[in-house]
């Protein structure tokens, strides 16, 4: 069905460029904007919008197969990660795709440029009027009332049917998300500092039951403390999103207090994208950013740690930052080999399936290069985000449940139990993965009919692993503070991976890279956590139990056992 204006446009382009675009078909639509967004007006015709299009990869199934070969512990090609050029040769769109899309855009006088080295993302800037015609839609301005930020979005758009196989995602269109939020590193209200009558069950000091410091983690997980060689090939990255700032002076104070054994000049490297500034003024230090830098630099014994700071210049919405963070790393010759993110939201209300899928494909490219991509699983229990209303409805999954990412849940106390705030459950966007099927189905069997209809038993299950997120001590603006949540767990777990990578690469072996198939194949490498549950949506949530569970995944790190499992 062609609208009048579209028919006119098709006829015009027929006259101008002799291109006949096939019938426009709806590519994506949603019923309404998610709660928290209010429609204000149609977007002004002359407002410029920065658009990106994700083009079909030349050989996505080939890349998937290559990654499976490299990441399956039983494969003869185990850990033979791909080079940048190899990944690009799979990811680059075909000439047919490029030509079809270029021709379509140019019939609207739009000239695009590649946004990634492989050219699987292209970008252009166009007035709203042109974008409306291109996508046979009407862009509107929506107010994100929580932040007061306005976004130009639409509830649906179409593309010519001939282009459907070539175009995977168009952004910004139907994805709605407020400014990126840290995984709410919850500030602990009261901290019991004395625990004198504690019975010692492990060699971990009793104080660690109430407050986690780097030495608690070293004791609890057996993390090495020795300074790595200056020539280490291991490198770690942590994501930071504006307005968070990671404070170097606070890190210095933290190291002096908690790692006096390390050189006092150790710090993080800063890479700034999208207009980020990482303001160095103690009063503007962010809990999340300080946590992420202190619980990486403070644990990795001198392994270079990059604070990947993503700003907010495009104003088209924070989803850009997510894409940018991964695409920036993809474009680097030697990206950090672990990349930890402690920011997120929930799966379905924010990003469309197509954008989530495109984002996941970017993570796949990075994972294929031997990068372990880790995420905090979220802090709302089975509700994913702490403020989500879901009583009586299915548990809303977290973002991202991309199978190429490793999701990290939180534990607390010693001995460890699953932390109640851990987001855990089952994706509606991505299916259960073969490497997790046995472990996850064993749990689903135990669950029986409990919560039937509230979770998707055929979805990709998470978290994959867990680490401490109880009451973790950090330094902010010169003072001690206590934070908790999966925000702590992701950098802590990632530091363990970075240390194993250092040992592996020093021994001439490849880094751990895409972790999940290996994690699930090596349950003995983790401390199985069997108690704790993650309430939410008016329920008690899932319960931790023997083996994998949707609170603590496969468990928390056991460095010595992981080392052995890694082949060291
Ligand atoms: C895609 O990659 C796979 C694995 O390398 C290869 O076997 C296959 O021939 C490729 N397909 C195309 C269309 O290039
Ligand atoms: C694809 O396009 C590139 C650049 O325009 C060209 O060099 C190459 O020969 C083309 N390949 C095919 C198979 O047409
Ligand atoms: C957006 O919503 C906020 C909160 O309700 C309000 O203060 C602000 O004025 C709104 N912005 C616009 C442009 O309407
Ligand atoms: C650790 O702390 C928890 C909660 O504060 C408490 O219930 C538990 O008894 C403590 N464990 C030990 C060994 O003291
Ligand atoms: C830190 O100090 C050590 C000597 O203690 C020196 O070798 C090293 O180069 C310094 N590193 C930086 C980044 O300044
Ligand atoms: C459940 O997960 C499957 C596999 O990913 C998916 O196809 C299906 O749409 C999901 N169901 C719901 C209700 O979202």
Beta-bridge mates of residue 171? 52
On whether the CB atoms of residues 228 and 262 are closer than 8 A, the answer is: no
Residues 463 and 465: their CA atoms lie apart, in Å, by: 6
Residues 49 and 41: their CA atoms lie apart, in Å, by: 16
Helix axes 60-71, 84-91, angle to 10 degrees: 140
Reference 402, options 330, 331, 326, 328; nearest CA is 326
On whether the CB atoms of residues 375 and 490 are closer than 8 A, the answer is: yes
- Whether residue 272 has its Cβ less than 6 Å from ligand 4: no
Helix axes 287-297, 486-506, angle to 10 degrees: 30
Residues 374 and 305: their CA atoms lie apart, in Å, by: 15
Indicate which residue's Cα is closest to atom 4 of ligand 1: 62
> What is the model's pTM?
0.93
| DSSP per residue, 337-393 | SEEEE-EE-BHHHHS-HHHHHHHHHHHHHHHHTTPEEEEE--SSGGGSSTT---TTS
Reference 495, options 166, 162, 268, 270; nearest CA is 268
Where is the binding site, in residues?
528-529, 547, 549
Instruction: Tell me the ligand closest to 248's alpha carbon.
Output: 5
Indicate which residue's Cα is closest to atom 4 of ligand 4: 413
Q: Give me ligand 6 centre to Cα 550, in Å.
A: 17
Q: Give me ligand 1 centre to Cα 62, in Å.
A: 5
DSSP alpha helices (H): ranges in 211-247?
214-221
Instruction: Tell me the ligand closest to 69's alpha carbon.
Output: 1
On whether the CB atoms of residues 341 and 413 are closer than 8 A, the answer is: no
Test site for ligand 4: of 194, 209, 484, most ligand atoms within 8 A of the Cβ = 209
Q: Give me ligand 4 centre to Cα 544, in Å.
A: 18
Indicate which residue's Cα is closest to atom 8 of ligand 6: 428
Half-sphere exposure for 117 (CA within 13 Å, toward CB) = 17
Task: List the pLDDT tens digit at each of the 568 positions of the chain.
Answer: 334 444 444 444 444 444 567 799 999 999 999 988 999 999 999 999 999 999 999 999 999 999 999 999 999 999 999 999 999 999 999 999 999 999 999 999 999 999 999 999 999 999 999 999 999 999 999 999 988 888 999 999 999 999 999 999 999 999 988 776 677 677 654 333 333 333 333 478 889 999 999 999 999 999 999 999 999 999 999 999 888 999 999 999 999 999 999 999 999 999 998 889 999 999 999 999 999 999 999 999 999 999 999 987 655 555 567 888 899 999 999 999 999 999 988 888 888 999 999 999 999 999 999 999 999 999 999 999 888 889 999 999 999 999 999 999 999 999 999 999 999 999 999 999 999 999 999 999 999 999 999 999 999 999 999 999 999 999 999 999 999 999 999 999 999 999 999 999 999 999 999 999 999 999 999 999 999 999 999 999 999 999 999 999 999 999 999 999 999 9
Backbone angles phi, psi at 324, to 5 degrees: -60, -45
Q: Is 334 exposed, middle or buried (0-12, 13-18, 19+ CB in 10 A)?
A: exposed
Query: Phi/psi class of residue 373: alpha, beta or left (left: φ > 0; alpha: ψ in -120 to 50)?
Result: beta
Catalytic residue numbers read 288, 292, 487
- Whether residue 432 has its Cβ less than 6 Å from ligand 6: no
Residues 471 and 474: their CA atoms lie apart, in Å, by: 10
The second-level CATH assignment, the architecture, of 186-565 is 3-Layer(aba) Sandwich (3.40)
On whether the CB atoms of residues 420 and 533 are closer than 8 A, the answer is: yes
Indicate which residue's Cα is closest to atom 13 of ligand 1: 59
Half-sphere exposure for 443 (CA within 13 Å, toward CB) = 27
Tell me the domain boundaries of the chain. Answer: 15-57+92-171, 186-565
- Whether residue 269 has its Cβ less than 6 Å from ligand 5: no
Reference 33, options 154, 171, 136, 169; nearest CA is 154
Where is the binding site for Ca(2+), in residues?
528-529, 547, 549
């Amino acid at each position: 069905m062609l609208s009048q204006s579209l028919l006119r446009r098709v006829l015009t382009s027929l006259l101008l460029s002799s291109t006949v675009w096939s019938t426009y078909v709806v590519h994506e639509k949603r019923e309404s904007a998610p709660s928290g967004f209010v429609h204000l007006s149609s977007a002004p015709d002359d407002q410029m919008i920065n658009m990106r299009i994700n083009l079909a990869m030349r050989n996505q199934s080939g890349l998937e197969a290559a990654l499976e070969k490299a990441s399956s512990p039983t494969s003869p090609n185990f850990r033979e990660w791909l080079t940048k050029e190899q990944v690009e040769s799979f990811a680059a769109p075909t000439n047919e795709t490029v030509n079809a899309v270029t021709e379509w855009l140019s019939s609207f006088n739009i000239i695009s440029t590649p946004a990634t080295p492989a050219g699987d993302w292209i970008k252009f800037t166009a007035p709203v009027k042109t974008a409306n015609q291109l996508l046979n839609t009407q862009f509107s301005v929506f107010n994100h009332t929580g932040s007061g930020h306005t976004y130009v979005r639409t509830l649906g758009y179409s593309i010519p049917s001939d282009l459907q196989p070539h175009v995977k995602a168009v952004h910004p269109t139907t994805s709605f998300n407020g400014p990126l939020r840290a995984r709410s590193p919850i500030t602990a209200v009261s901290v019991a500092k004395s625990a004198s009558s504690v019975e010692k069950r492990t060699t971990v000091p009793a104080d660690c039951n109430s407050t986690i410091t780097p030495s608690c983690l070293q004791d609890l997980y057996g993390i090495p403390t020795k300074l790595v060689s200056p020539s280490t090939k291991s490198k770690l990255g942590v994501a930071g999103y504006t307005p968070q700032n990671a404070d170097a002076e606070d890190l210095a104070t933290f190291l002096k207090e908690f790692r006096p054994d390390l050189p006092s000049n150790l710090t993080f490297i800063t890479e700034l994208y999208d207009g980020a500034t990482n303001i160095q003024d103690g009063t503007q230090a962010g809990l999340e950013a300080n946590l992420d830098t202190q619980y990486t630099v403070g644990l990795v014994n001198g392994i270079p740690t990059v604070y990947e700071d993503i700003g907010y210049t495009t104003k088209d919405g924070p989803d850009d930052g997510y894409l940018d963070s991964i695409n920036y790393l993809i474009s680097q010759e030697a990206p950090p080999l672990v990349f930890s993110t402690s920011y997120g939201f929930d799966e379905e209300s924010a990003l469309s399936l197509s954008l989530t899928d495109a984002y996941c494909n970017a993570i796949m490219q990075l994972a294929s290069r031997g990068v372990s991509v880790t995420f905090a699983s979220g802090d709302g229990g089975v509700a994913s985000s702490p403020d989500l209303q879901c009583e009586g409805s299915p548990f809303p999954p977290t973002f991202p449940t991309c199978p190429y990412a490793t999701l990290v849940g939180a534990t607390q106390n010693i001995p460890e139990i699953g932390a109640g705030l851990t987001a855990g459950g089952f994706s509606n966007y991505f299916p259960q993965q073969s490497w997790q099927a046995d472990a996850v189905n064993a749990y689903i069997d135990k669950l029986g009919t409990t919560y039937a209809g509230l979770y998707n038993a055929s979805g990709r299950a998470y978290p994959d692993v867990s680490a401490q997120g109880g009451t973790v001590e950090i330094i902010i603006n010169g003072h001690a503070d206590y934070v908790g949540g999966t925000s702590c767990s992701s950098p802590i777990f990632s530091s363990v991976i970075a240390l194993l990578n250092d040992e592996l690469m020093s021994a001439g072996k490849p880094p751990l890279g895409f972790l999940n198939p290996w994690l699930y194949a090596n349950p003995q490498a983790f401390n199985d956590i069997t108690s704790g549950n993650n309430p939410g949506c008016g329920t008690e949530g899932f319960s931790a139990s023997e083996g994998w569970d949707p609170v603590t995944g496969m468990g928390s790190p056991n460095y010595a056992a992981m080392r052995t499992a890694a082949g060291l």
